[in-house]
A and B are shown apart, each in its own frame.
Chain A
Amino acid sequence: MLKIQNLSKHFGGVKAVNNCSFDIKENNITALIGPNGSGKSTLFNLVSGIIKEDSGKITYNKQDITNLSPEKVSNTGISRLFQKSQLFDNLTIKENLLLAIDNEDTKFWKNLLGKNKTTKEKEERVNKLLKLVEMESFADKLGRELSYGQKRLIEIARTILNPHKLLMLDEPIAGVTPKLRTKISEILLNLKKQGATILLIEHDMNFALNLADEVIVLDEGRVIAKGTPNQIKNNKKVLEAYLGD
C-alpha cells in the first residue's frame, strides 16, 4: 500500500533518513520503532509532504506521492497524527472535528451563499467519534482548555475523521495514562477490523509489539530489521540498537 524506495534526507551533515526502503501492507498495523534520532518522525514528515526528500521515491496505492504538498498527500487518503499537539486552540472541540470531515468548507462562494450547512449526518459522525473517545461532554470546550491526554484523544478522533485509508500515528500514547492507553489500543484494533491500515511510531515497546502485525526497526535512518513482533523481540541487531554493544 505504501512503498518507500531508497529514501534519503540529510540535515547538514546529519543523515536523518539514509537510503531507507520498506513497504507496508494493506489492513495491517505496522509499527515503526527505533531509538531517539533514528529518523522515524523525519520519515513521517517526508511521507506527509512536510519536508522534501533529497532522493528516493514514495508510492502510495501505486501513485507517486514524492514531493506532494501536505494537503495533496492528505487528500490521497493519508491521515496523520503528530507527536506534538496540533489542535486548533481557539476553536471548540466540535469545530476541530468538523474541519476534518471534508473540504467543502474551503469553498468560499458555497459557504457565503449558505449552501454548506453543518448537516445532521456530520454532527452525528462527530458525536460518534466523541463517544468513542468518551469525550462527549467536551464538545463545546475550546482546544486550549483541554489537558494533554484529552487533546491526544481529540486529535486521534480528528485523524480518524479525516477521510483516510492509511493512518499515520506518531506516538499516539505518549504521555497518556495507562487507562487511556488501553482505550487507544482498543480503538486502533477496531479501526483495523473496519479495514484501515495503520502505520504507527511508538516508543513503548510493549504497546507496539502487542498491537502490530509487523514491526520495522530504524536506526541512524536505515531499516535494520523487519518482521513480526516475535521475530523483532529476539533480533540481535535490534537489541544492540536499543541497548548498545
Chain B
Amino acid sequence: MIEAYFIHLAILVGIYLILALSLQLALGYTGLINLGHIAFFAIGAYVSALLTLSGIPFIIAILLAGVISALFGFLLSIPTNKLKGDYLALATLAFTFVIYAITLNWASLTRGPLGLPGIPKPSIFGLSFSSNLSFLILILVIVLAVYFLIKRIVYSPFGKVLEATRDNELATRVLGKNTFKIKSIALGASAFFAGIAGSLYAHYITYIDPSSFTIMQLIPILCIVIIGGLASLRGTIIATIILILLPEPLRFIGFPSSVVGPMRQIIYALILLLILIYRPKGFFGKVELE
C-alpha cells in the first residue's frame, strides 16, 4: 500500500519535473513570463487522449501532443512578440483562459465539463505500461530524455542567445540576431515538452476534464521555477521534489483531503514569499525575477 503511494508520488514528481523544466526554458532562460504554460499542458493532454481514444497508438499520440502544443506555442509567439513583462504575462494568461473555455465549451470534441474518461494506459510496440511501476519507469525515461534535451539546448550557443535575449533584447538584435525567431522557438520548444507532460498526465490519470487545467494548476509550477531559481536546472529538480512532497505529511497528520488541498496552496505561497524576501534568486538562480 505504502509502496503504491510512493510510486504515485514519484510519477507526480516526474510529470511536474517535465512541466517545470520546460517552463524554465521559456521563463528562466528566455525571460518570457509565460502564464500560458498550463494551456500547453491541456492541449497535450486532450490531443493525446482524443487520439488514443480513437485508436491511434500511444507513441504517435504523445509525439503529436508535443508537436501540436509546440505549434500553439509558435502561434502564441506571433501576437505576443512585442510584449514584455506584465503585458506578456497577461496576454499568455488570456491564452490559458481561451484554451480552458474551449475545453469546457467545445463539448462535441471534449465532452465539456463531463471530461474524457477511459483514456487507455500507454502501450508502446506491444509493451504495456498499465501498472504504476511500469508507468514510473516510462516517466523516468521520458524525464531523463527531456532533461537531457533541455540541458543540451541551454548549454549550447543557442542557449546563450536565449539568455542574451532575456538580459537585453535590443543588444541581441543589434548583434544581428532575430529575437522574434528565437523567442518563437523557445516558446515552441517549451510548449512541446509541456504537451508531452500533458499526454503523460492524461494516460496516467486516465480521465481529464477542464478543471485539471486552470490557472490554479499553474501556481505550483510557477512556484517551483521561482523557488528553484531562474535559469537553473538543478534548482528546478530540487524545488520540484520539495514542493510536491512537502505537503504530503499533512495527510498522515490526519487532515481531511478538503484541508490538504488549500493547505498545499498556503504552503506554496508562504515558501514563495520567504524565498522572494530572503533569497530573490531562489535556490540556485542566476538571475533575479524582475
Contacts and interface: CB of A to CB of B under 8 A. Distances in A.
A88 B158 contact: no
A112 B153 CA distance: 6
Contacts of A111: 153, 156-159
A158 B231 CA distance: 24
Closest 4 CB pairs of A and B: A105-B157, A111-B158, A86-B171, A74-B176
A103 B176 CA distance: 7
Interface in B43-75: none
A98 B185 CA distance: 21
Given A86-B170, A89-B167, A112-B152, A106 B160 contact: no
B171 A82 contact: yes
B167 A91 contact: yes
A116 interface: yes
A105 B175 CA distance: 12
A222 interface: no
Contact of B158 (A48, A70, A105): A105
Nearest to B158: A111
B67 to A, nearest CB: 15
Contact of B168 (A71, A86, A105, A118): A86
B163 A71 contact: no
A40 interface: no
Task: Describe B's contact surface by its main secondary structure.
Answer: helix
14 contacts: A71-B173, A74-B176, A80-B174, A90-B166, A90-B167, A95-B160, A98-B157, A105-B160, A106-B158, A107-B158, A108-B158, A112-B149, A114-B156, A118-B157
Interface of B: 149, 152-153, 156-161, 163-164, 166-168, 170-179, 181-182, 185, 189, 231, 286-287
Contacts of B161: 99, 105-106
B160 A99 contact: yes
Contact of A90 (B163, B181, B185): B163
A76 to B, nearest CB: 9
A20 B201 CA distance: 62
Contact of B175 (A50, A90, A162): A162
A143 B181 CA distance: 25
A100 interface: yes
A100 B167 contact: no
A86 B157 CA distance: 19
A190 B274 CA distance: 54
Interface in A83-126: 86-91, 95, 98-100, 103-108, 111-112, 114, 116, 118
B167 A112 contact: no
B185 to A, nearest CB: 5
Contact of A88 (B149, B171, B182): B171
A118 B189 CA distance: 23
Contact of A86 (B174, B176, B178): B174
A55 B172 CA distance: 27
B152 A88 contact: no
Contact of B163 (A91, A106, A116): A91
A205 to B, nearest CB: 27
A108 B175 CA distance: 17
A71 B179 contact: yes
A235 B170 CA distance: 38
Contacts of B170: 50, 70, 86
A116 B176 contact: no
A69 interface: yes
A220 B53 CA distance: 70
